[in-house]
């Protein structure tokens, strides 16, 4: 049986994606300041957020194992006493032109996002970070998917918002839900738009020697 993969996220969608392909996932959400720095490029931002989430969780695990601060034998102790070796974190944003669209703050904010996206192309960026606690080694990558919305009126936007799946989604839509019908076309990773580019994540796991968590 594969070892557990610690997911530094509260996202049920990322957990579901990983479990669907067979991973044993242990959610350990990380609360960090997700404020974008002045003029910070979207790719830099999502990579920084993913890495910050992961390192926060790694520190929490280390403090649990070594409350006195002793970390010299951490690798050996992780091997003997805990199956927690790998930590994965991610951050997803929608980019329209030069602007990053995150999660809406309220109903009107969500409506305005969808009205701006309708009939146009935008990009979904997910940065992810994989950390090997045994080797203190990390891998970071960002994946981009191009998405085009169908044209939508305000009435259609309101009907979609009434479904109730928009408020916790970057860009105010869920491609894996009812929002799938408003996607006219897509170029790139579908799971990246859901919240985690599975193909690239697994490739990184293989490159970093993560055979103990691979489900196949």
Least confident segment among 17-21, 34-38, 176-180: 34-38
| pTM, to two decimals | 0.89
148 assigned to some structural domain = yes
212 assigned to some structural domain = no
DSSP states of the chain as a string?
A: -PPEEEE----HHHHHHHHHTT-EEEE-------PPPTT--HHHHHHHHHHHHHHHHHHHHHHHH-TTS--TTHHHHHHHH----EEEEEEEEEEETTEEE-S-SSHHHHHHHHHHHTTSEEEEEEEEEEEETTTTEEEEEEEEEEEEEPP--HHHHHHHHTTS--TTSGGG--TTTGGGGGEEEEES-HHHHHT--HHHHHHHHHHTT-TTT---
Give me 134's structure tokens.
């045994």
Mean pLDDT calculated for residue range 47-72: 82
Q: By the 8 A CB rule, do 207 and 215 touch? A: no
- Quickly state the pLDDT bin for 80 (edges 50, 70, 90): very low
Query: CA 195, CA 117: separation in Å to the nearest integer?
Result: 18
177 assigned to some structural domain = yes
Using one digit for the tens of pLDDT, what is the confidence trace for 101-155? Answer: 989 999 999 999 999 999 999 999 999 999 999 999 999 999 999 999 999 999 9
**Residue 91 among the catalytic residues:** yes
Active-site residue identified among 68, 91, 98, 109 = 91
12 assigned to some structural domain = yes
52 assigned to some structural domain = yes
Residue 72 has pLDDT above 60, yes or no: no
CATH code (residue 56)? 3.90.950.10
Give me 184's structure tokens.
């006219």
SS3 sequence of 32-56: CCCCCCCCCCHHHHHHHHHHHHHHH
Q: By the 8 A CB rule, do 161 and 83 touch? A: no
213 assigned to some structural domain = no
In total, how many domains does the chain have?
1
110 assigned to some structural domain = yes
214 assigned to some structural domain = no
pLDDT at 3: 74
Domain that holds residue 31: 4-207
């Amino acid at each position: 049986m594969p070892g557990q993969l610690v997911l530094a996220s509260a996202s049920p969608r990322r957990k579901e994606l990983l479990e669907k392909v067979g991973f044993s996932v242990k959610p350990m959400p990380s609360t960090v300041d997700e404020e974008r720095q002045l003029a910070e490029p979207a790719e830099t931002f999502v990579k920084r957020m993913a890495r910050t989430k992961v390192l926060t969780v790694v520190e929490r695990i280390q403090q649990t194992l070594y409350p006195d601060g002793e970390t010299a034998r951490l690798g050996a102790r992780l091997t003997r006493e805990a199956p927690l070796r790998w930590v994965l974190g991610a951050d997803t944003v929608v980019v329209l032109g030069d602007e990053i669209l995150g999660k809406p703050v309220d109903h009107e904010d969500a409506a305005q996002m969808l009205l701006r996206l309708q009939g146009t192309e935008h990009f979904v960026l997910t940065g992810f970070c994989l950390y090997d606690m045994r080797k203190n080694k990390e891998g970071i990558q960002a994946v981009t998917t191009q998405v085009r919305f169908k044209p939508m009126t305000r009435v259609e936007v309101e009907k979609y918002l009434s479904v109730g799946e928009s408020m916790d989604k970057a860009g105010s839509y869920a491609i894996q839900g009812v929002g799938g019908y408003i996607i006219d076309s897509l170029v790139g990773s579908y799971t990246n738009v859901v919240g985690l580019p599975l193909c690239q994540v697994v490739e990184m796991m293989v490159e970093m020697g993560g055979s103990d968590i691979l489900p196949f």
